[in-house]
Amino acid sequence: MRLVQYGYKTIDEFRQNGRTDLGEHFTELCIELDRFDLHTSFLLFGHDRQKHGKLFQIDYPGHVVDCNVLKYAVIGSGYDMAMASLRWPPPMTFLLEDTIYRLLEAKFSAASATGVGEATTVALRNRDGLVELLTRREIEEIKKIWKRDVADVPSPPAAIEILENSRAVKRAAGER
């Protein structure tokens, strides 16, 4: 931390002795510290004493968002793509496998955003704390299926027919 450079081991020590030790530089340093931003968010997941899952988002500087009502959360530069993927279509089931697929689908979609890497790790933790990882091979096979299925989804024929007959579309295309 920046205060270590000035010989302070804790923030309390800085608060108690900084003004005396640093004089006018104390105010400058306080302003600099107030402007500091990690530009980082974290998702924190765990279980309560009754072994119910809990999910929170933590933003700098310690702002906590309870994500338990929605039951999922997204952070980072791929937020918009991932949320769009998670929200539509609405889940048909809440089976574990379907939920994992939907989360992978959101991650794959988010990868088109700047700053989101291609690498994907899936860690599954049960209520007793046992953690298992999906293999890279399993994730890559699912990604291939996702890519194929996304490419294979045609525009709904009934919607296309309405657009083909639309006066506005015909005029926009240059037809009279």
For residue 47, what are the contacts with CB-CB under 8 A and spacing of at least 6?
53, 54, 127
As a whole number of angstroms, the distance between CA 142 and CA 159 comes to: 30
**Do 88 and 146 have their domain in common?**
yes
Per the structure, the count of domains in the chain is 3
Tens digit of pLDDT for each residue in 126-174?
878 788 999 999 999 999 999 888 867 777 788 778 878 888 887 777 7
Dump pLDDT digits (tens) for 84-140: 988 888 777 778 888 899 999 999 999 989 989 899 999 988 878 788 999 999 999
Same domain, 114 and 144: yes
Host domain of residue 8: 2-35
Q: Say yes or no: 106 and 169 in one domain.
A: yes
46 and 67, same domain (yes or no) = yes
Asked whether 86 and 102 are in contact (CB, 8 A), the reply is: yes
Query: Does 29 share its domain with 49?
Result: no
Q: Is the pTM of this model over 0.75?
A: no
Phi, psi of 57 (to 5 degrees): -105, 135
